[in-house]
Amino acid sequence: MNPVVWQVRSRAELLFEQPMAWTVVTGLALLAAAALATAQGAVDLALVQLPASIVDVDHPFHRVIWDVRLPRVACGALVGLDLALAGALLQTTVRNPLADPGILGVTAGAGVGALVVILFLPGYGEWVPWAGFVGAVATIFVLLGLAASKDGQTGALRIVLSGVAVQSLLFALISLMTYIYADRAPAFTAYVVGSLNGLGWADVQRMLPPTLIGLVAVVAYRRTLNLLLLDDSAASGVGVPVVQARLGAAVVAALLTAAAVSAAGLIGFVGLVVPNAIRLLVGPEHGALLPATALGGAALVIFADLIARTALSPLELPVGALLSMVGGPYFLYLLWKKLP
Amino acid sequence: MSAASVGDPSETLAIEARRLHVRHPGVDRDVLRDASLKVREGEILALVGPNGSGKSTLIRALGRDLDLRKGEVVLEGRPLASYPRRELARRVARLPQDPQTPEGLTVEALVECGRHPHVGAFGRLGPRDLAIVAEALEAVEIAEYRTRPLEMLSGGERRRAWFAMAIAQEPKLLLLDEPTSALDLRHQFELLDLLVKLNAERGTTIVLSIHDLEHAAHVGDRVAVLARGRVYDCGPPEQVLNEETLLDVFRVESRIDCEESGLTMRILGPGDPIRNF
């Protein structure tokens, strides 16, 4: 055997045996993305000056950093974390790597729910994520009902196709609502593609409660989630209430999705790309998968948003469009690879 | 416990199937038709029978993996249906014939799943659970592969990994659906030896379905022959596995000699010189 090949292989195996190492790696990536994104923008700041500008009230950049950049980075982190975790949960729930809150129409469901409050209850901004949650849960339940075939198994293609169908219906609803109530609706493109433009601390505050609830649930039940990797018969054989556990995971995914959508609109593919990439590195066990997925998702969205607002500056692109440019091809690749 | 299991299985019943009628979901025909079976505590019971006779279905019905259309299963004197899920999983472990292996799941993580019915609501494994997992891995001799993903194992090793999960469950009753299928001869013997060892050391009651009649006679304290969805005969191998039964149920001619060392079976295949006697 070629010794070089052997060495590479054994190192990969070594990392595989230390899956928590990837939590550290993704954590560092998140720190780096956050630092870069805070320093770069319409006016650039040297990275060495970043700590001073954050702490020192008299620093010329202090206001910009605190009023504009930090809240936006925080929003990006929460959105990325929420969507990546939601993707990982949905993939476990339907036992299908192609699942993603965007592809399955869960973000669109949350989008409809959120729009209802935005359009008809203008004084109740804090209700937006919870209305989104209702929309997302309804979408998931409809989807699981549609996709469950007669033998109780959920076909890989069946659920994706059902998701596409549900999603197109929900998109039609969103476009009708934004068209009819154009005076108070968010801009259709930015909402449907997803963007972090103009987000502030109020949005962070709005996203935090559902995100925290979702995180607590995920941390508490991470071990039970591993049992859902087994087939239904084997899982119920060791005493797992399979249906309830899968529905529970789906509800948490809906909550996390709704939190992200309430601030950033319908950003797609984060939940597809990040968990699948991390799963290749650490394997499917949730104790290692979920922390690295959450941190990696946050890093990805922050980094993508940095590019979105600096690439064609002063024009700010919607970050969702950039993410779809990466995620779309990756989805095609997965389709090609995972489907027989 | 083990004294009772060797030679003289106690008359206490581990599990009993009473006049079961069972069909598979979406199929309009009963696979089991009035099947009754008594499994004694501490014995190894081998289910044999032709394809489609209902072996797998009976195993799954005993493990509450299929709904009963008629009849009743009684586990330790209580209706099987009355057990809460986790309590049942602490008593009964089942090993499906060909379980789907989740991609990337390691051997150790799989075996740890077996502890689920014993741990608290959040599934945290204590030191005792981890010791039991390590012991189960040792027992099936795959401890060295514990960090490997399942799909990197051979068929025999993977089967042993699933078996280790069932051992980690510490069941009083173990149900195995054709545990030796798709294994080569050596691995078949290794697995059967493991079953005998588990039964002898822990007094675990074992019900398994198996195609090979000699293996059934070798491993089983008793053998149940299934035919057309019911139990045709059940008893010690040397009584049950006789020439008439083989002809009637399996439609093969045979010569069977009963010796002290065990059962010698000669199945007369096509072209066998003594077949036309």
For A32-45, the pLDDT digits (tens) are 999 999 988 877 88
Q: Does A150 have pLDDT greater than 80?
A: no
Read off the tokens for A82: 């929420």
| CB contact (8 A) between residue A285 and residue B105 | yes
Confidence band, pLDDT 50/70/90 cuts, at residue A154: low
Q: Does A69 have pLDDT greater than 60?
A: yes
- DSSP readout, B29-82? S-SEEEEEEEEETT-EEEEE--TTSSHHHHHHHHTT-S--SEEEEEETTEEGGG
CB atoms closer than 10 angstroms to residue B246:
21
CA A288 to each of CA A107, A222, A284, B168: distance values in angstroms, whole numbers, following the listed order: 25, 9, 8, 23
Q: Does A59 have pLDDT greater than 70?
A: yes
Give the model confidence (pLDDT) of A280-338 as tens digits: 888 888 988 999 999 999 999 999 999 999 888 788 888 999 999 989 999 888 888 87
Which residues of A fall within a CB distance of 8 Å from B117?
A: 238-239
pLDDT for the residue A1? 35
Between the two ends of chain A, the Cα-to-Cα distance in Å is 32
Which residues of B fall within a CB distance of 8 Å from A229?
A: 102, 105
pLDDT for the residue B187? 84
pLDDT for the residue B252? 83
- Mean pLDDT computed over A155-168: 83
Confidence band, pLDDT 50/70/90 cuts, at residue A10: very low
Rg of chain B (C-alpha set): 19
Nearest CB to B89: which of A231, A233, A239? A239
Which residues of A fall within a CB distance of 8 Å from B105?
A: 226, 229, 283-285
| CB contact (8 A) between residue A226 and residue B113 | yes
Q: Are B234 and B40 in contact (CB under 8 A)?
A: no
pLDDT for the residue A340? 63
- Mean pLDDT computed over A246-274: 95
pLDDT for the residue A149? 58
Beta bridge partners of B230: B227
CA-nearest of A335, A218, A150, A311 to B24 is A150
| CB contact (8 A) between residue B116 and residue A227 | yes
Chain B residues contacting A via beta carbons under 8 Å: 25-26, 63, 65, 85-90, 93-94, 96, 99-100, 102-106, 109-110, 112-114, 116-117, 122-125, 147, 149, 165, 169
CB atoms closer than 10 angstroms to residue B155:
13
Nearest CB to B93: which of A151, A236, A237? A237
User: Which residue is closest to B169 within chain A, CA to CA?
Assistant: A238
Confidence band, pLDDT 50/70/90 cuts, at residue A155: low
A24 CA: distance to closest CA in chain B (Å)? 20
Name the strand (E) or helix (H) holding B193. Answer: helix B185-202
A228 CA: distance to closest CA in chain B (Å)? 10
Alpha-carbon span B216 to B44, nearest angstrom: 10
Which residues of A fall within a CB distance of 8 Å from B103?
A: 284
Per-residue pLDDT of chain B (277 residues; tens, 9 = 90+): 344 444 444 578 999 999 999 998 878 889 999 999 999 999 999 999 999 899 999 999 999 999 999 999 999 999 999 999 999 999 999 998 878 877 888 899 999 999 999 998 777 889 999 999 999 999 888 889 988 888 888 888 888 899 999 999 999 999 999 998 878 888 888 889 999 999 999 999 999 999 999 899 999 999 999 999 999 999 999 899 888 888 888 888 888 877 766 777 777 766 665 544 4
| CB contact (8 A) between residue B104 and residue A150 | no
- B209 φ, ψ (degrees, to nearest 5): -100, 145
| CB contact (8 A) between residue B124 and residue A151 | no
Which residues of B fall within a CB distance of 8 Å from A337?
A: none
Which residues of B fall within a CB distance of 8 Å from A293?
A: none
CA A38 to each of CA A32, A78, A197, A212: distance values in angstroms, whole numbers, following the listed order: 10, 15, 14, 24
187-206 in A: which are within 8 Å (CB) of B? none
Please indicate if any CB of chain B lies within 8 Å of the CB of A22: no
Q: Does A92 have pLDDT greater than 80?
A: yes
| CB contact (8 A) between residue A239 and residue B147 | no
- Mean pLDDT computed over A116-144: 92
Alpha-carbon span A42 to A313, nearest angstrom: 7
279-308 in A: which are within 8 Å (CB) of B? 279, 283-285
Q: How many CB pairs under 8 A join A and B?
A: 82
| CB contact (8 A) between residue B123 and residue A237 | no
Q: What is the mean pLDDT of chain A?
A: 87
- Mean pLDDT computed over A99-127: 92
| CB contact (8 A) between residue B88 and residue A239 | yes
pLDDT for the residue B124? 83
| CB contact (8 A) between residue A17 and residue B147 | yes
Please indicate if any CB of chain B lies within 8 Å of the CB of A340: no
Which residues of B fall within a CB distance of 8 Å from A12?
A: none
Give the model confidence (pLDDT) of B116-169 as tens digits: 999 987 778 899 999 999 999 998 888 899 888 888 888 888 888 999 999 999
Alpha-carbon span B93 to B88, nearest angstrom: 8
Alpha-carbon span A317 to A68, nearest angstrom: 16
CA-nearest of A88, A110, A325 to A218 is A88
Report which DSSP code applies to B250.
Answer: I
Which residues of B fall within a CB distance of 8 Å from A151?
A: 25-26
Q: Does A8 have pLDDT greater than 80?
A: no
User: Which residue is closest to A239 within chain B, CA to CA?
Assistant: B86
